[in-house]
Homo-oligomer: A and B are copies of this chain.
Amino acid sequence: MSTKKNNEKIKVAICGGSGYTGIELLRILSGHPQVIVKAVTSEKSAGKSVGTLFPHLHKYSNLIYEPLDKTGLLKKADLFFLALPHGASQEAVNFFFSKGKRVIDLSADYRLSDPIVYEEWYGLPHKYPATLKKAVFGLPEIHRRNIRKAKLVANPGCYPTSAILGLLPAIKVRLIDVSSLIIDSKSGTTGAGRKADLAVSFCEVNEGFKAYAVGTHRHIPEIEQELSLAAGKDVTVNFTPHLLPVDRGILTTTYARLEKKIDAGMVEKIYRDTYKKEPFVRVLAHGLYPNIKNVKGTNYCDIGLKLNERTNTLIVITAIDNLVKGASGQAVQNMNIMLDVDETLALDTPAVFP
């Protein structure tokens, strides 16, 4: 870790720090030379040491979970990560934002720019539409410029990150028919959160595999919002999530009909060109496909391409770690951009393979 003195570092707080995205933020930030975690909240674990509850975070033995006292937290940090449940985040984000703090919200509450769409999919009204207007969707590969000056970043969902990064280059050059998009995603079980729930108990998940929330998952409007923006017209997608018996990783396989004749080399070039300056997107050679195992614990998004000429279809396959590029890693990437420091700080360690 850096030898910089603590009092020179940026002070951050994590609200909701005992779930998987919360402890992943702590893990990543433990290697950040310019940031210090000054507070972390958890109602259930209040009073306990992070290092005791999570032995892998023994570096935080002196950091104690505290209840979410928003006013009390104000003086402790300059930047707030919120990893609270959807809905609960609305108010907390608005509070810290209104007090002039920088906020990175890992919930879904500020991702959908249209409050009507939000209400439609989340079943409750958005109480802070004015704040919502200030939020920037935190996918650096699309919105880096706005993230840089943002006070409030809505960190994307895990599935949307994997889907959007896969389809973006093809959509931008009008290569594919956006009315025919099929997004078939498979996620590791950390995606379901850290909870006591029979449905995610070991013996129910292990050696199993299933789809869920077919066509109804709340990440759908997020995907459609960003792809519509890229396409310049309304995009509607088929999205099917599946539950993989692994800890981490999302593999998303997308299918789209081609609008023009093209060869495989050209497809690869479009993807390489789009992402050539991106530190965390790795485009594989045409015909090679990513494996979630190669991105585990990292902020990378690996992309594989297949032009199927028999069927006139472009197949794009992306792999990310749902807790890193799909959540906490992307949040730190966004923080780095907001702070105008090296975007890869704390994020450039290789996967622990195998």
Q: Which of A77-85, A109-117, A235-243 contacts B (4 or more CB under 8 A)?
A: A235-243
* Of B56, B198, B251, B353, the contact of A23 (CB 8 Å cutoff): B353
Do the beta carbons of B246 and A207 come within 8 Å of each other? yes
Residues of B within 8 A of A6 (CB): none
Least Cβ distance of A73 to chain B in Å? 24
Please, how many angstroms separate the alpha-carbon atoms of A200 and B206 in the complex? 11
- The docked-state distance in angstroms from the alpha carbon of A195 to that of B204 is 10
Per the CB 8 Å criterion, the residue count for chain A at the interface is: 82
Known contacts A202-B206, A246-B208; A348 and B308 CB within 8 A of each other: no
Q: Give Cα distance in the complex from A236 to B308, angstroms.
A: 11
The reply to whether the CB of A244 lies closer than 8 angstroms to some CB of chain B is yes
Tell me the residues in window 180-207 of chain A with beta carbons closer than 8 Å to chain B beta carbons.
180, 182, 184, 186, 189-190, 194-198, 200-207
Give the chain B neighbours of A242 by CB distance below 8 A.
186, 251, 253
> Which of B1, B237, B240 sits near A253, CB closer than 8 Å?
B240
Binding-face segment, A90-98, A143-151, A291-299: A291-299
Task: Decide if B207 touches A207 in the complex (CB within 8 Å).
Answer: yes
Chain B residues whose CB sits within 8 angstroms of the CB of A1 once the complex forms: 348
Does A210 interact with chain B (Cβ within 8 Å)? Answer: yes
Partner of A291, one of B31, B208, B296, B310: B208
Partner of A209, one of B236, B244, B255: B244
Nearest opposing residue in chain B for A288, CB measure: B55
- Give CA–CA (A190, B204) in the complex, Å: 10
| Binding-face segment, A34-42, A155-163, A211-219 | A211-219
Per-residue interface assignment for chain A, residues 259 to 301, with 1 indicating a CB less than 8 Å from any chain B CB and 0 otherwise? 0000000000000000000000010000101111111111000
B209 in contact with A313 (CB, 8 Å): no
CB distance from A342 to the nearest CB of B (A): 11
A-B contact pairs, 27 of them (CB 8 A): A1-B348, A20-B354, A27-B352, A58-B350, A59-B350, A184-B255, A189-B203, A189-B206, A202-B202, A202-B204, A206-B354, A207-B207, A208-B246, A208-B293, A209-B249, A209-B293, A210-B291, A210-B319, A214-B289, A215-B308, A215-B310, A238-B311, A238-B313, A240-B253, A244-B244, A248-B352, A296-B352
A-side residues, CB < 8 A to B, are: 1, 20, 23, 27, 30-31, 54-59, 180, 182, 184, 186, 189-190, 194-198, 200-212, 214-215, 236-238, 240, 242, 244-249, 251, 253, 255, 257, 282, 287, 289-298, 302, 304, 306, 308, 310-311, 313, 315, 317, 319, 348-354
